[in-house]
Structure 1
Amino acid sequence: MASTGVVKAGYWNCGSTFLVSDIKSSLFTHLFAAFADVNSSNYQVTFPTLYKLQFESFTQTVQIKNSGVKTLLSIGGGASGVASALASMASKKENRKIFIDSSITLARENNFHGLCLSWLYPSTTSEMTNLESLLKEWRAAVDDEANKTRKCPLLLTAEVFYSSAIGSASYPCTTIANTLDWINVLAFNFYSPGSSPTETAPPAALKNKQNGSLCVEASIKIWIDAGLKAKKIALCLPFVGWAWTLTNPLKHDLFAPAAGPALSVDGSISFAQVKVFITDQKATTEYNDTYSTNYCYAGVTWIGYDDLESVTNKVKYHARKEQQLLGYFAWHVGADNNWSLSQKAFDTWDKCANSKQ
């Protein structure tokens, strides 16, 4: 595996209706095209039919504005049935080979520089064992293909849960460290109206004095303690938030009484939509430095999200730390507001990484 350099990445979500041609790729070193499909019958990796042309032209399109940006094809995602398809694929060697070979072919034929596994999430010990086999075989195939073609090896990454264990099932951390160029730790969605329907909470706080395990700081520490070097970890910057319905509009702080989601079926909301809500509803905005989280409220609607302050603090914390991370990734670029969060993260990382403090 070659040295990657700093990762300032972003995901393009094909289901967001955000055009690839509108991505300001100059603000990123790496861009992920999400998500390629896995056929549940034959385990071939394919592009979603509705977005096939955008996937095929993804690399060519984003390199118009930034010729040096690297692109990765992310496979899987959180759609219904994807996790079971991946689990079935990983359970047999012959299935894994079909998946691996088709992923490499698809990436090469469409000029991607790498591949990303988005298995959300392997949840049993046997699935973790199968994941370990998949990663070992995938790395061997990637290296073999590079040797045969004399091309630079495809980058190999994965999205992982914010903890190195899911229930009693632990990720194969040693194999992850040995086979992947880096991991994208999904250190967000610690709270949502689904998991915390009766109380507002910070969805992606840097620190959490109320529950120390549900925050970015704890998440990254868990993965490092599990054996991943800091330089193998990219931090998630969520460009999405969650909206709750307040029980009492006069009680609107963090951990205020709530009655489930607001604004959408599950309460999910993009950063761009948050900014529209603030303007249209003349909402009050707050930043809590203890948790390093932003929130706003108007009437009985309360939204937790990341804005410039929380993004700045997260990037500062992980760019300046003694064990500096590899970088960060944004989920997802189409949810930004006039590229304000992307620009802030990009500039802050450089400033802090180059600082002697």
Structure 2
Amino acid sequence: MAATGVVKAGYWHCDSAFPVSDIKSSLFTHLFAAFADVNSSYQVTFPILYKLQFESFTQTVQIKNPDVKTLLSIGGGASGVASTLASMASKQENRKIFIGSSITLARENNFHGLCLSWLYPSTAVEMTNLESLLKEWRAAVEIEAQITTKARLLLTAEVFYSSAIGSASYPCKTISNTLDWINVLAFNFYTPDSSPTETAPPDALRKGPKGILCVETSIKSWIDAGLKVKKIALCVPFVGWAWTLKNPLQHDLFAPAVGPALSVDGSVTFAQVKLFITVRKAKRVYDKTYCTNYCYADVTWIGYDDLESVTDKVNYAHKEKQLLGYFAWHVGADYNWSLSQKAFDTWDKCAN
């Protein structure tokens, strides 16, 4: 099985408390179940609390869309996961356990593919180990497909917004040769943690006059490193970040701020943003220079993606860069499926 001609994907996050049965799977070509665990023996397992949801994931989402492909995403950003994955990848015998258990778990539960969420390999040694892992993983799924005569499992990975992390560069040639595509995490460029003293667009498409971190710079990094455009899927975030303004009269982009708002770290879902706008009668703004949305009320300022920025990002991915597709993080954060529908329709409109 190769990647389809287009990827319109979404992630279901097990910690989101969003029922798998509520996913409007007709709006997606691929759905990721996130995240499977890796235990101390380097075996891939389902989180105990959500075991039933993972086991029935494919069956459940295919009720509304029999054609949707499902992938099991392994790892994620929880504490300790990166070090476990680094340890796993460091030895051939550990990689063999990981690979074998991932294939078995995927097949036993009717997943169509696997996704590595190693956030992030950050040294040259870890990148070399990642390269070994990907080569061995691809060989294993090829052999398994031949033995079982089943369609080969898809292989994907979530990767940093840049093709290099510090002085460590991703093994792009091996990524091209082994993975069906990569999900580039081109979002969360700025948060109240990384930019506590001024508001900033968390996920801007364009770098604008300030030359900020943004989607176009992120994707250029991967293309310049040798990744084919048809190996790249762009992130469409359904989450945003809230800042506390220093002065409610200064509420533009890059306004003085004093840290997060609305939650401990400032993280909010799109559904929460919509509620904030309604209840607080917040002012909505779409900045065409940076291609980003924000809203504000009193001393609360939120940067996020809305219909305008989602439209621009999907147009950029499809028309401007001819990427393979996009993926949403995460489906449980949407509001009445409005962003999912907008992304789906915009892609189809570009194609016609």
Give the alignment's TM-score, normalised by structure 1: 0.97
Query: In structure 1, how many angstroms separate the alpha carbons of the residues matched to 2:255 and 2:267?
Result: 18
2:276 corresponds in structure 1 to 277
2:295 corresponds in structure 1 to 296
2:323 corresponds in structure 1 to 325
Deviations 1:209-228 (A, max 9, x none): 24436110111111011011
Q: How does 1:1-357 map to 2 (within 5 A)?
A: 2-39=2-39, 41-212=40-211, 214-321=213-320, 323-354=321-352
Query: In structure 1, how many angstroms separate the alpha carbons of the residues matched to 2:210 and 2:98?
Result: 39
Is the CA contact 2:317–2:326 (under 8 Å) kept in the aligned structure 1? no
Query: In structure 2, how many angstroms separate the alpha carbons of the residues matched to 1:55 and 1:331?
Result: 18
- How far did 1:208 drift? 1.4
- How far did 1:4 drift? 2.2
Deviations 1:148-173 (A, max 9, x none): 11110000000000000001111001
Q: Single out whichever of 100-109 and 217-226 deviates more from structure 2.
A: 217-226
Query: In structure 1, how many angstroms separate the alpha carbons of the residues matched to 2:3 and 2:125?
Result: 32
Counterpart code for 1:10: G
Is the CA contact 2:245–2:300 (under 8 Å) kept in the aligned structure 1? yes
Counterpart code for 2:33: A
Is the CA contact 1:164–1:226 (under 8 Å) kept in the aligned structure 2? yes
Query: In structure 2, how many angstroms separate the alpha carbons of the residues matched to 1:111 and 1:196?
Result: 42
Query: In structure 2, how many angstroms separate the alpha carbons of the residues matched to 1:208 and 1:303?
Result: 19
Counterpart code for 1:248: N
Is the CA contact 1:213–1:219 (under 8 Å) kept in the aligned structure 2? no
Percent identity of paired positions between Structure 1 and Structure 2: 83
Deviations 1:2-45 (A, max 9, x none): 35210000000000000000000000000000000000x20000
Query: In structure 2, how many angstroms separate the alpha carbons of the residues matched to 1:314 and 1:269?
Result: 20
Q: Per the alignment, in what secondary structure is the counterpart of residue 151 of structure 2?
A: coil
Counterpart code for 2:20: V
- Measured on the aligned residues, the alpha-carbon RMSD in Å equals 0.8
Query: In structure 1, how many angstroms separate the alpha carbons of the residues matched to 2:152 and 2:93?
Result: 23
Counterpart code for 1:259: V
Count of residue pairs the alignment pairs up: 352
Is the CA contact 1:296–1:304 (under 8 Å) kept in the aligned structure 2? yes
Q: Per the alignment, in what secondary structure is the counterpart of residue 286 of structure 2?
A: strand
**Structure 1: gaps of 5 or more residues:** none
Q: Per the alignment, in what secondary structure is the counterpart of residue 115 of structure 1?
A: strand
Query: In structure 2, how many angstroms separate the alpha carbons of the residues matched to 1:350 and 1:301?
Result: 36
Give the alignment's TM-score, normalised by structure 2: 0.99
Deviations 1:161-197 (A, max 9, x none): 0000001111001100100000000000110001100
